[in-house]
């Protein structure tokens, strides 16, 4: 499969999101206390069968299906799908929400698409095709440009969650000379690293694999890396975890420049 094929599916999902976004939609609360809207449900309903048709041998792990108790079989190849990453941003109507699709092989996110329908931008990347940013108009890609993560400057730009900031994150960042801190929602934080606009993204809070895999894949394709706090690459397809549920992530950090990750690993060692 190609990035263009995955992008086409994300674009179709984005159309469903924008259709709901244009209405006075209702919000419900899931068992884990997170919000859900009809946009989450409609987007996933469109994308799941298309992904299954594109790659019948790849297991589809989608957020709303898992929340409803549909736990797929374990597999070395899987799609991780978040139909609406940043539901709080969607509810607040600030545009910082995305459609996330990632292909994972043997625990590694090897291809990913992050589409922000409200702002008409899409990022994609894979191990074979590199990474690019695209402008979207009327549900179609109208232009693309290659992107690459940048070498870390002497004073770095940090990026963090618009809705989930913490004092713990601020303390963690004290190890670096931070020139500025940018708050963004959803997987857009990974995309800022991938396109050379920021340098580090620490997330010392709760996330699931479908929240991060697509952005992680784009960042890796652009030359960056995502690691746990002890410097190991963040892995996917995690099952039977001691003390946590399937597909839950530990705390992690995204780095535009892998040399910053090496420094973290040396500190942990």
User: According to the model, what pLDDT value does residue 125 have?
Assistant: 98
pTM for the model: 0.95
Q: How far apart are CA 102 and CA 123, in angstroms?
A: 12
| Residue 85 in marked binding region | yes
CB 218 within 8 A of CB 110: no
CB 100 within 8 A of CB 228: no
| Residue 3 in marked binding region | no
The Cβ of residue 177 has, within 10 Å, a number of other Cβ atoms equal to 11
| Residue 87 in marked binding region | yes
User: According to the model, what pLDDT value does residue 24 have?
Assistant: 83
Residue 245's alpha-carbon distances to 71, 209, 249, 250, 258, in angstroms, are: 12, 11, 9, 11, 29
Q: For the segment 222-257, what is each residue's pLDDT rounded down to a tens digit? A: 999 999 998 899 999 998 888 888 899 999 999 999
User: According to the model, what pLDDT value does residue 98 have?
Assistant: 97
Residue 37's alpha-carbon distances to 16, 27, 214, in angstroms, are: 12, 5, 21
| Residue 144 in marked binding region | no
First-to-last C-alpha distance (Å) of the chain: 39
What pLDDT tens digit does each residue of the chain (269 aa) get?
A: 899 999 999 999 999 999 999 998 888 877 776 878 899 999 999 999 999 999 999 999 999 999 889 988 889 999 999 999 998 899 999 999 999 999 999 999 999 999 999 999 999 999 999 999 999 999 999 999 999 999 999 999 999 886 555 788 888 999 899 999 999 988 999 999 999 999 999 999 889 999 999 999 999 999 999 999 988 999 999 988 888 888 999 999 999 999 998 877 677 65
User: According to the model, what pLDDT value does residue 264 have?
Assistant: 72
User: According to the model, what pLDDT value does residue 107 have?
Assistant: 97
Domain architecture of the chain: domains with CATH: 3-146 (3.30.540.10), 156-268 (3.40.190.80)
Task: Please enumerate in sequence order all residues whose Cβ is within 8 A of that of 157, keeping only pairs 6 or more positions apart, or say none.
Answer: 178, 179, 180, 181, 182, 197, 198, 199, 200
List the Cα angle 80/93/84 in 5-degree steps. Answer: 10
| Residue 244 in marked binding region | no
| Residue 84 in marked binding region | yes
| Residue 177 in marked binding region | no
User: According to the model, what pLDDT value does residue 25 have?
Assistant: 85
């Amino acid at each position: 499969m190609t990035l263009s094929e995955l992008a086409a599916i994300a674009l179709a999902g984005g159309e469903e999101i924008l259709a709901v976004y244009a209405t006075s939609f209702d919000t419900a609360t899931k068992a884990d206390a997170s919000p859900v809207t009809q946009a989450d449900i409609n987007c996933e309903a469109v994308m799941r069968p298309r992904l299954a048709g594109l790659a019948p041998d790849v297991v589809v792990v989608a957020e709303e299906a898992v929340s409803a108790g549909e736990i797929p079989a374990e597999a070395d190849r899987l799609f991780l799908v978040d139909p609406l990453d940043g539901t709080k941003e969607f509810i607040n109507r600030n545009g910082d929400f995305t459609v996330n699709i990632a292909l994972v092989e043997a625990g590694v996110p090897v291809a990913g698409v992050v589409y922000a329908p409200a702002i008409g931008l899409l990022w994609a990347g894979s191990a074979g095709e590199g990474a690019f940013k695209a402008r979207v108009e009327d549900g179609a890609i109208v232009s693309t440009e290659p992107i690459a993560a940048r070498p870390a400057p002497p004073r770095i730009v940090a990026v963090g969650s618009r809705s989930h900031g913490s004092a713990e994150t601020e303390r963690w960042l004290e190890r670096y000379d931070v020139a500025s801190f940018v708050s963004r929602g959803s997987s857009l934080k990974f995309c800022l690293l991938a396109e050379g606009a920021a340098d580090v993204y620490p997330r010392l809070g709760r996330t699931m694999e479908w929240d991060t895999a697509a952005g992680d894949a784009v960042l890796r394709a652009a030359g960056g890396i995502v690691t746990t706090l002890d410097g190991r690459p963040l892995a996917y397809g995690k099952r039977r975890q001691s003390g946590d549920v399937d597909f839950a992530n530990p705390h992690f950090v995204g780095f535009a420049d892998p040399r910053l990750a090496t420094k973290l690993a040396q500190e942990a060692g």
